[in-house]
């Protein structure tokens, strides 16, 4: 109920020639409306139902574009919200555990506790791995946006086992080769390695920060 109150606390009305729409600001969107929109759209694949819930103040209006991949920034926003929510819940669970331990000598630190619960509860293990994977993808995106070559190579190496785990055959096959090529690049081509460490493995179309893109994505933008 609190999340719905926050979501509906600020509203504005947009009028056009056909109808009047109620708009909710993005900074007041909470987890419950996002979950409602994603759940309804995932079950029905009907945008009109999500729009009705949005008008009633029960759902975010961005669920269809997030799941369809229509707007990548909205998908990234959803991932950030999900990771933040999972991390908060994990911290709360550890706090409850720490408060329940009377002997400080027996109390596990955060990582030890996480590893222990990961082996005991399958659901915790699932969401913990989900959070780790999403954080890895965000780090990979950051390495490209900031032209940080060392982070890019490190993230690629960490992504290889995931490609095998989720059965992406082509990514698993060629990402392994690509990652190994980058690791050996310092020995095989010093000049190219120096250029990459300066950020030339991506392209900046503007002088703004955090806007570098991979070369193939730049071509896709130009051809769009």
pLDDT in tens, 28-64: 666 666 666 667 666 676 666 666 666 656 666 555 5
pTM (2 d.p.): 0.66
Q: What are phi and psi of 143, to 5 degrees?
A: -60, -35
3-state secondary structure of 98: helix
3-state secondary structure of 213: strand
Average pLDDT over residues 153-157: 93
Nearest C-alpha neighbor of 110 from the set 95, 124, 129, 131 = 95
What confidence tens digit (pLDDT) does each residue in 91-139 have?
999 999 998 888 777 889 999 999 999 999 999 999 999 899 989 988 9
**Average pLDDT of every residue of the chain:** 78
């Amino acid at each position: 109920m609190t999340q719905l109150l926050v979501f509906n606390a600020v509203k504005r009305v947009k009028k056009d020639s056909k109808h009047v729409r109620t708009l909710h600001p993005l900074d007041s969107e909470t987890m419950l409306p996002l979950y409602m929109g994603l759940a309804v759209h995932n079950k029905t694949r009907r945008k009109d139902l999500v729009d009705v819930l949005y008008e009633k103040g029960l759902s975010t209006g961005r669920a269809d574009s997030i799941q369809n991949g229509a707007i990548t920034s909205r998908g990234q926003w959803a991932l950030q919200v999900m990771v933040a929510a999972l991390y908060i819940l994990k911290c709360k669970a550890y706090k409850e555990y720490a408060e329940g331990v009377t002997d400080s000598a027996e109390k596990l630190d955060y990582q030890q506790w996480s590893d222990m619960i990961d082996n005991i509860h399958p659901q915790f293990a699932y969401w913990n791995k989900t959070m780790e994977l999403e954080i890895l993808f965000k780090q990979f995106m950051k390495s490209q946006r900031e032209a940080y070559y060392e982070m890019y190579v490190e993230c690629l190496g960490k992504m290889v086992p995931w490609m095998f785990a989720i059965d992406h055959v082509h990514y698993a096959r060629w990402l392994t080769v690509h990652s190994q090529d980058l690791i050996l690049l310092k020995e095989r081509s010093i000049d190219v390695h120096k250029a990459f460490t300066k950020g030339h493995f991506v392209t900046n179309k503007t002088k703004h920060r955090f806007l570098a893109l991979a070369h193939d994505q730049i071509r896709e933008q130009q051809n769009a």
